[in-house]
Structure 1
Amino acid sequence: MRLLSRIFAGQATTRPARQVSLLDAGRSLQSTLDVDAALSLLESIVRTYRDLPYRAMPAFVDAGHVWGAGNQGGPARFVAFDDEAKAVRFLALWPAPTGVTMGLFGIDGSGQSTIIGHWKMRDASLLSTGTFEPGTLDLAAPRLSPKYPEEIVNAAGYPTTASNIERMTRQVATMVLGQAQNFIQSSDPRAAAAFVQDHSHAGSVADLQSILDDLGGLDSEVLPYIQNLPARVRAILLEHTGYGEGRIWDEFDR
């Protein structure tokens, strides 16, 4: 339990005060960089804002989303990150003939972000080209890789045996349910206990995805704040490999 209490150190574990159903209107941007180069630049900017809490924690994560603008086609990448003010931001990226088209979105009226100015200092080709209307993109729960538990075991240097993957799946479920309970119990302790009970037998990636989907479906306010949950859980587990505090890995095959 000591580890669970540290999962979200420095990050709010109670629900936000206002309802979030759609992203705010987005800022439309153009750059001559391609998608991969734009994401590399985003990472370098975010890393100037603060040290990341864990060695394996990425500067941004792929975010769950629903495209709501008809047949134009959704973004090639849609990522979440914390800006200089620690506000959650979302960046959508589409490849374009001359580089990349991007949409920068905030939530709940969070206003402008300094990241555009910081980007322009590093990329003289960046242009502001208009706005995306509210409802262009909506948030969904983050999507897990089909091999999410297996990848954590492998990254930690342990053999990806069936028993190790099963143990990791249970460990991830415990950690994710701990955070889900924190979100829910601030307004309804009984619902929090019921949610944990309903998902207490999670034993597969599909079950882990259901925890995230059901949490977002229960209260959309949490969606911006759980996008980095899979990456954060992974980073914490990799931070605590081997024997020692928390003893997470003691039962894993070596």
Structure 2
Amino acid sequence: MFRLNQKDIEAYHQRYFRPSCLRALNLRFSTWDFFASFYDKIHDQIKVPPQLTLTPEDTVLNYFSILREAENMYDRGCGTIGQAKLPFPIAYNFLSQEYQNKLSYKEYVHLFSGIGHTSLIKLCRFPDRKRGIRFFYEIETIEGAEGKKAEYFGYSYGFISLLKEQEGFRISEMNRIEEDFLCAPYHGWNHDGETVVDVKYGHWCHLIEHIYPTIRNEYIKSIYFHGKDGADYCIIFALLTNGTDIEIAQFRKAGNEEWKQVHMMPEEDCAGE
């Protein structure tokens, strides 16, 4: 049976049971002045000001800043919350035309059901194998559930892809995965980056010759190892608020070559060996 000593238990409590205290990144629009000009418009009447989408980073930060006080909660009985539903038609126009063709405005708003406030707490751009524009993000939301009077904090993460359109950069793909706070501290090795690398690339794929010390930069963790094939590898993880390490990129360097992004799938290629 797997047992922890007191020191390990305290470390687990700090890693898995403590919510984020990071400052919000989406603070670009904090007054009514910005929203006033969109007050009487529906989603297909809105044109996003070009200066809001000049760079990929601007697009993402402005998108989440608009959504910060967007509200699509169940009836709370306390009047207007934030900017109510006014931000949704504006934010919808940060999506690419192709994305909007796949996701109707009604479906888009439904994605925010139960959410009354959104704080962007982590944002990191990382290379895309197709040479596209891709970000990792994490948000902290204030949510409510039908039949409950109290609100609670929720945490989600995901990946955002962008492309350049005539009017500026637009979001072409985006997913959102809700974080669990009970599985990680009690079950499984696959929440910890170092263990993931050791198991998947070592025990499963028999690829690791030796592992180098982990490099940690805020919530980004880079784990390097030298392979039995003579090449060096770097597996990059992002640390979520629930304490879990999420793999976001892989790189390989053979000899004097430059680092090249790769796409290894130990679960499919090695797990049965």
Fold shared per TM-score above 0.5: no
Going by fraction, where is helix more abundant, 1 or 2? 1
TM-score, normalised with respect to structure 1: 0.22
**Relative contact order: is structure 1 or structure 2 higher (C-alpha 8 Å, sep ≥ 6)?**
1
Provide TM-score, normalisation by structure 2.
0.21
Larger proportion of strand? 2
